[in-house]
Structure 1
Amino acid sequence: MPDYIKITETPSNHDNLEQLDAESILVKMNEEDQKVASAVADAIPQISLLVDGLVPRFLKGGRLFYIGAGTSGRLGILDASEIPPTYGLPHDRVIGIMAGGDIAIRKSVEHAEDDTKQAWKDLLAFDINTDDTVVGIAASGTTPYVLGGIEDARKHGILTAGITNNPGSPLAQLAEIPIEINVGPEFVTGSTRMKSGTSQKLALNMISTALMIRIGRVKGNKMVNMQLSNNKLVDRGTRYVMEGLNMNYEEARAALKEHGSVKKAIEANTK
């Protein structure tokens, strides 16, 4: 028996779910979901430690890696994939890796998460080094793929963190910075894509957003480095330039087009 309680596997607070009507199911799910934000709040001190460790490494050219399997792996890939369009960084600065490779994003790859050596092999493909940071994500805190990757990363002097929903789990004990988010039993027993997955998404939002703010990719409260990849974003960027430079819409749009980003447009016109 483990020396910790596997909260993610404990029975739901609700039973006889199949006897409920749709509205009752949704109300009870929502009652459980309301517990997630406070559980994440309890983990803020540890998330802060991670961000503080990340910033100097990132400014030296280091990268942030997420490793996970199943839902946890997909959430890491989602967070990483949103950094380039939102903050204008290259795709190789925040990288999501999951057990089973890219095919596992859409389809389950049997036993991929059971290989304790594969995560480190996957990281080595990116020439990982001590300027980098590895965050393992596993609701259970027992996923072999994640544990092996975190263990090998620590052996090589790389900063590691572990996001888990089972306090005291192997991942929490192994990672240099344990981020333990106790959301309680899932609405459907053991279905960690629910509250556990939601808590992981919130934590990842906090990690990457705080990092981007601290390294200067946000001005005031604006995404001044976002990629202008569609009409909606060009319009948003134009309005940011209007506000920053007290220009009319046409002038701001021309400045944005000339300089290619909100930040560059504002900087070029405030010297």
Structure 2
Amino acid sequence: MDYAVEIEDLAFSHKDGTRALKGINLRIKKGSKTAILGPNGAGKSTLLLHLNGIYLPQHGRVRVMGLEVNRENEKKIRQTVGLVFQDPDDQVFCTTVWEDVAFGPMNFNLPEDEVQRRVKQALRAVRLEGLEQKMPFHLSYGQRKRVAIAGVLALRPEILVLDEPHAFLDPSSKSELMKIMDGINSEGRTIIVATHDVDFAYEWADDVVIIKDGRVLAQGGPDILSEDKVINESELEYPVLVKLFRKVPEIGYDKMPQFVDEAAELIRQKLNQVKN
């Protein structure tokens, strides 16, 4: 099985009649880092809620790790796909950090020693060791976000899904979160992120999905964020590096740089050519 997620003709309408998804077709590779981009109201969050069975397909099919998302498979799906909401205060509610991270494993009736083991590993993964007995609401917003991630990781999902993980975080917390997600991905887990942050998606993801008006507008590598047609139709902006190199085409490049270090090296080479 090459795909962690397979979606066929997924459509969904809210109770007020609003059509949020209008025939989504999408495949996400196992072990990938996938960013889902799109303007407000595009259907990103609604799509994510289908991946662990909070919403069930009204039309079409959703499979995760080959397993159909339906009421019969609900428990297994929620062990397979861990969902982290945009606002950690929607997910973090216990008296201490330890209790919050242990909540999921305990509700799956795991042995006490296994719960202890999973909580320790999850807190280590998000770099919150030593804060086990702290009250979550005495922590910073970024730390609470990491508590929410730890609570999901303690269930050991094969797929981690995050909705706008960088929302309201300062630059340092964003950088820390990116390192944490990379660490989780390096263990073989698939990570799917819905985001408005084109710079993050361009640098971090190896697969980019752009959604607009409830449909997939484009999917491909991060380089699709440098394509005029895609950016214009999606109502997104070019990543900063793309903007820069489009402004100074005389620098010359075979491929648009994706990382700051890569861009710096191209500029350095150009400067050396001028000097010589």
TM over 0.5: no
Structure-2-length-normalised TM-score: 0.30
TM normalised by structure 1 equals: 0.31
Q: Between Structure 1 and Structure 2, which shows a larger proportion of strand residues?
A: 2
